Structure 1
Amino acid sequence: MQIAILVNAIHSLSKDMTNFEKLDSIPIGISPYEKYKNWRSQGPIYWTDELFGGAWVLTTFHAVQSALKDPRLSACRTGGWVMRAPGARSNVRAQLIDMQRLFARAMLFVDKPTHPRLRQAMQVGFRPDTIQKMSAFVDSTVNELIDNVEAACDDNSPFDFIETFAQHLPARVIARFLGFRHVDQRRFLTWSSVLAQFIGSVYPSEEEALAARTGLLGMADYIQNCLNNGDFEEEKLFGVLVRAQSRGEIESGPEMLSQCAMLLFAGYETTRHLLGTAVYWLLREPGLWAALDDPARLRSAVRELLRWDSPVQYTGRRASRSFTLYGRDIRRGDLVLPLIGSANRDPGRYDEPDLINLDRSIGIPLSFGSGPHVCIGAGLTLMEAECALGVLVRRWPRLQLCEAGSEWLNIPLYRGLKTLMVRRS
């Protein structure tokens, strides 16, 4: 039986914006989808002064997918981005240089020939059989977190799903997947939080930039100590990277530390948001939560929820040369933003894109990107989400939203909840 539920637009924004001047007056704010719809109405590409001091935004599925594969658009973009805190004093900019050195070496932000070298070195750690071996750990962790909630509050007591579950599961899973034996979860969550605030801000403040520097360097120091002390499981991903470093496939120092720090951060942050928004939307409409009682529906449901509300709303590229794209003159150095969240709601690609259809056959949406930089950890995230939702529905079949208390993030890059108040019956 097909499940197709029309979900009303959240925090409805202005419906009648048809000219370019008015489009940019709609804040992206908490729900970006009305703005995306208006931008799409102008065509596949649109210039806005609203983001990063001026950028081309790509709005349709085809435009976004093509851009992510276009060699004229470079992933190397961290120089001005990391150092861009408005009004940052010269001594602060000097302090950000070491953070920039780490960011600039991450696989996410490099092109050929560095990118394929790093990806090949890491890919062996993300084989399907390796990910499948994690499923038992994910299942036991999900049940442990559920047990903790049940021990702490009765059925009718509200609790914050983000605080008690969504932030803990991916933190434990990515630490285990990498093979770190002892992770101070409180410190890790603090590091991730300040990094997310900085990375996700269009114009981060000086304070946000310095906090992110502390977080990233804290991660790097932790990873370096694990390496120095041998405090990791050699058969896990970190061991794979250490062996790749010994063969010269990954450079020691900043390059090695950067890959590990970004894997820790990315493996946690996006999965946390996926778990929160998935539970939110499944509980918003009668019938969706109960529909997942059928395990066969979990695979398509997770992919549909990723399409509907992608944890990452856009990514960035820099034009490495001047060229024409959809009739617009792109200059060398221009910032181009493929809007993943808009592409996933494109009616040119999806029938009735503003419906949640848990049986929709769409494959994997653009939430993990496409092309050479497609998310290397997509398989782990999908397995984690399918397992978590399956166990949650089975153990808490009467889970429901509380009337108040949930709060959305207000960071344009990320789509997620700061708090999600629920009760078990």
Structure 2
Amino acid sequence: MPEPADLLDLDDPEVVADPYPALHHLREHAPFAWHEGLHAHVATGHEQVSAALRNRSLGRIFTDREPAADWSTFNWLHADSILDSEPPKHTRLRRLVAGAFGRGHVARLAPRIEKIARELVEQAGDGPFDLIDAVAEPLPVTVIAELLDWPQADRHLLRPWSQAIVKMYEVSPTPQEQAAAQQAARDFAEYADALADHRARHPGSDLLTDLVTARDAGDRLSRRELVATVVLLLNAGHEASVNGLGNGMHSWLTAGAPAVDTDDEGATESLVEEMLRHDSPLHLFERTATQDVVVAGHEVAKGEKVVVLLGAANRDPAVFADPDVFDPRRSPNPHLAFGLGIHFCIGAPLARLEMQQAVRALLSAHPPLEVRDAVRRPTFVLRGFERLVLAPA
């Protein structure tokens, strides 16, 4: 008889399209269980996922892809990033990056984010428009490009590079996707390295300049660490906003768009938190045991992986009343969309701000809206839409 977790087939198109029935079944029968296909323990309950994310004996250990000659740049972009390192390296990197990231850049951008969001919504026009193409994708890419002061003429390169690289986070990337990720990693790293060199000679008031000069007690980011940080800021930083806004608007509108006063800052914040919870942009995060450890009452041997399913945890009825119902007034809302523990998303405040401003702009220009067409991306780990056509109701 198969283990309960093995009944979760992440290659099944029906599960990818709507994972929640399968996740509910697994969480109900085995909130922490071994999955032979993934060769990992799988955590689906909110308690179990939280325990795994908080456990310091479960590390974010990046394993180099082979052959090394083909994956060299891709490998070091991950090995030298905050996301795929552990203390003491992670502590040093996060301190340096957070110091640069926290020097008022996000706060100063708030009015600019509002302006960009309103301009994008206005450009979408009064008729049906694709939310992903018109607003969800260009907004965070524009914002992170302005944070880094990325050359305007080359900003169109960022999204394709990012999309190619993040496809490697899915369960079964194709050979074509692997080749595209290798090339995108090389091109992205080469460009970011050259831009950092230029910014070192011609400093400005942007985030990239701060990263170039980031120091702490005589320490600084190495050349590769700086490039890996820039790539991570785009890849991880904007994917949450793109998918969070698309998934969230779809959830809200197909639930009948329960009334929200977007002039009320607290109400808008609550709406965005429910968007992140109800259909999370990131569904799977992987950790590896650095020693024998007990997680949520289960033994995990050194070297074994633990896969946490964030979308399952965010619909756990033990924590969220009527978890499948979209409730924009839900409080409290302890969702795990941005993770937990030392790897909590460093860009979460920026992603939240982008989503809040986009929602306000959309509802200010088009109250109310309805979904006319929706096409899901065929991915499980990073869950989102390829196309989401909205129109005034």
User: TM-score if structure 2 supplies the norm length?
Assistant: 0.91
Task: Report which stretch shifted further, 163-172 or 214-223.
Answer: 214-223
Match of 1:149 among 124, 136, 150: 124
Equivalent residue number for residue 97 of structure 1:
72
- Check the 8 A contact 1:74/1:319 in 2, yes or no: yes
Query: Are residues 1:115 and 2:96 paired?
Result: no
Structure 1 segment 166-181 matched on structure 2, within 5 A: 166-181=136-151
Query: What is the CA-CA distance between 1:356 and the residue it aligns to?
Result: 1.2
Which of 350, 363, 373 matches 2:320? Answer: 350
Check if 1:66 corresponds to 2:56. no
Q: Which whole-Å CA distance do the structure 2 matches of 1:23 and 1:95 have between them?
A: 34
| Stretch deviating more after TM superposition (220-229 or 121-130) | 121-130
2:151 and 2:44 map into 1 onto residues whose CA distance is 43
Q: Is the 8 A contact 2:370 2:392 kept in 1?
A: yes
Shift of 1:102: 1.6
Q: Which amino acid aligns with 1:168?
A: P
CA–CA separation in structure 2 for the residues paired with 1:182 and 1:255: 24
- The amino acid across from 2:121 in the alignment is I
Q: Matched residues, percent identical?
A: 28
Assess if the C-alpha contact under 8 Å between 1:277 and 1:417 holds in 2. yes
Displacement after TM superposition at 1:350 (Å) = 1.5
Count residues with an aligned counterpart: 387
- Give 1:371's aligned residue: 341
**In structure 2, distance between residues paired with 1:202 and 1:187:** 25
Match of 2:109 in 1: 134
2:19 aligned partner, one-letter code: P
Cα displacement string for residues 163-185 of structure 1 (whole angstroms, at most 9, x for unaligned residues): 11111001001111233243623
Change (3 A) 1:117 1:25: closer
Match of 1:48 in 2: 35
Corresponding position: 1:219 with 2:194: no
Indicate if the aligned counterparts of 2:55 and 2:295 stay in contact, CA closer than 8 A: no
Is 1:34–2:9 an aligned residue pair?
Answer: no
Contact 1:316 1:338 in 2 (8 A): yes
Change in Cα spacing, 1:207 to 1:246, as seen in structure 2 (3 Å) is farther
Partner AA of 1:20 in structure 2:
P
Q: Which moved more, 1:369-378 or 1:343-352?
A: 343-352
8 A Cα contact 1:194 1:215, kept in partner: yes
Quote how far apart the aligned CAs of 1:247 are: 7.0
Unaligned 5+ segments in structure 2 are: none
How big is the shift at 1:386? 0.8
Do residues 203 (structure 1) and 203 (structure 2) align?
Answer: no
Secondary structure, counterpart of 1:406 in structure 2: strand
- Kept in 2: contact 1:33–1:342 (CA 8 A): yes
For residues 185 and 198 of structure 2, what CA distance do their matches in structure 1 show?
Answer: 20
Q: 1:395 to 1:61 in 2, by over 3 A?
A: same
State the partner residue of 1:419.
387
Do the aligned residues in 1 keep the contact of 2:249 with 2:275 (CA within 8 Å)? no
Residue of structure 2 in register with 1:24 after alignment: 8
Aligned partners of 1:171 and 1:268 also within 8 Å: yes
For residues 111 and 386 of structure 1, what CA distance do their matches in structure 2 show? 32
Partner residue of 2:330 out of 360, 369, 388:
360
Per the alignment, do residues 363 and 379 of structure 1 end up closer, same or farther by CA in structure 2, a change over 3 Å counting? farther
Q: CA RMSD in A?
A: 2.3
Residue range with higher mean Cα deviation, 168-177 or 158-167: 158-167
Question: For residue 216 of structure 1, what is the amino acid of its counterpart?
Answer: A
Q: 1:191 to 1:248 in 2, by over 3 A?
A: farther
Give 1:70 shift. 0.8
Q: TM-score normalised to the size of structure 1?
A: 0.85
CA distance in 1, matches of 2:41, 2:6: 17
